[in-house]
Structure 1
């Protein structure tokens, strides 16, 4: 897997290559690009770039002084896009919503459009049921305890935790891969704790949200109708926040729409891309 060294540390990524429009995918905690494993193969004609951001699923630890707050990781994502020389990027987020804060950092010049799929928004950082996990991560040894608890099937599959993020259920081997780095490495656990506890208070988050109105490019908001983490009303509210936002709701899905409804999500995404000028590029046979 290729790697780029940024100011906060090394970031691994997957790049499908090709000459098509560039899609950069974000992921949740402590996930990685495999969150999109069902969707990316359906996006023929696009170049899909999937960085593994330092949210606990990364293999190489960040510098001890790295800023892994919400805006710190957003800045790192912007630095990643700049380092790879990516232009006219379509930024696609699911679960983690902090990538929107590129707008606040003045690092959105290469973002042509955004697709926000059942993600954190407004003051829902972290989402309601995940707040307890964030508190655990803020206690010394808390992340170590979390990685051990996630080995217990009844906890892993709890509808109030990761089990509630997908109606279909995330396969055990995929979830094992997500939690493996923090299970093995104290430095990765340090990074995960910094990110998990890096959201400010509600008043600050709401003030940040108001400033997102400055993003004047197309935004597609895709919301799940059976989501336990992202409030149903946040979908239309987020679409109204952005001057060029619009909403699509997807039934029979929870937070991880790429897991529950990958085919429908891919079609919805491609339709939006084509409508907003990002046609897929297919090589001649």
Structure 2
């Protein structure tokens, strides 16, 4: 799928304690905030945004400092718990409440950490698409990345090679493992260019990757039973990296969770099946609003 940056709406920048975060903000109505994974940016969500805006939702789509960002944040805590706290700070800085938080890939793991560590008072509900969970942070296929980040010069070489030869992403350790349908070469170059060409971004990426460890998602899993929010697990049934068995394990821990299978997709459901993901998010918000009205008929909606 090709790049459609315009679908994300205008780009803004907000200063947080550790540095700036750039984000897109489009539409009006109930707020949906998105959390992508490592080495991609906000454009991974672009195909799903127009349908959500048309459904009367406000979509806030940040590029988090996970290696494909364009403004370095050397003063930001980029450990996984640190990034979870940055997400929380971002929501507070924009005064966003009753947020539907949507996570994918590494971002879904960060959302789980957020839910169980830094507070969730600004959240109304959560959507997890295929994501790092339990022992899979990173999953075995991408476990080489934290190792690579510890070797001087290795991350630079990897990023430069991926930028120059997008076909490398067709390998089992490339982005093709995360998308069932081919990703546009220009999109792949966009994702890899910051780390390949800017040593400051590469330093940020290295700091995050070196902090990735399953102990963070395993610790979060121990507290999922305390999450008093509705959670939709919109999971790809064919995903080879994050199998749907992870969704079933999450659902068994979460007090209020449902699984919505997504066909014909791998991890990047916003790229493979944007129509299905938009439909599931719309239905999830509608069902939650209906449940709120039934529980409190006098409450304004």
TM class by smaller structure = over 0.9
Task: Give the 5 Å matches for 1:216-231.
Answer: 216-231=228-243
Q: What is the distance in 2 between the residues matched to 1:156 and 1:103?
A: 32
Deviations 1:152-172 (CA, angstroms, capped at 9, x unpaired):
244221133211111112111
What is the aligned counterpart of 2:161 among 149, 168, 173?
Answer: 149
What is the aligned counterpart of 1:208 among 210, 220, 223?
Answer: 220
Unmatched 5+ stretches in structure 2: 1-10, 292-301
| Larger helix share, 1 or 2 | 2
Partners of 1:168 and 1:260 within 8 A in 2: yes
What is the aligned counterpart of 2:100 among 90, 100, 106?
Answer: 90
Question: In the alignment, does 2:245 pair up with 1:236?
Answer: no
Match of 1:261 in 2: 273
Match of 2:294 in 1: none
Q: What is the distance in 1 between the residues matched to 2:62 and 2:167?
A: 31
Unmatched 5+ stretches in structure 1: 280-285
Q: Runs of at least 4 residues of structure 1 off by over 6 A?
A: none
Match of 2:205 in 1: 192
What is the aligned counterpart of 1:61 among 58, 72, 80?
Answer: 72
Deviation, structure 1 residue 278:
8.2
TM-score calculated relative to the size of structure 1: 0.92
Deviations 1:184-203 (CA, angstroms, capped at 9, x unpaired):
2111001101111212344x
Q: What is the distance in 1 between the residues matched to 2:212 and 2:232?
A: 24
| 2:127 partner SS | strand
Q: What is the distance in 1 between the residues matched to 2:33 and 2:167?
A: 34
Comparing 204-213 with 185-194, which one deviates more in the overlay? 204-213
Q: What is the distance in 2 between the residues matched to 1:190 and 1:278?
A: 46
Task: Give the 5 Å matches for 1:1-285.
Answer: 1-18=11-28, 20-43=29-52, 44=54, 45-63=56-74, 65-96=75-106, 97-150=109-162, 151-202=164-215, 205-277=217-289
Partners of 1:30 and 1:56 within 8 A in 2: yes
Q: What is the distance in 2 between the residues matched to 1:174 and 1:221?
A: 26
Shift in alpha-carbon separation, 1:62–1:153, aligned structure 2, 3 A: closer
Deviation, structure 1 residue 122:
1.1
Task: Tell me how large the CA RMSD over aligned residues is.
Answer: 1.6
Q: What is the distance in 2 between the residues matched to 1:197 and 1:169?
A: 29
Shift in alpha-carbon separation, 1:157–1:73, aligned structure 2, 3 A: same
How many aligned positions are there?
276
| 1:276 partner SS | helix
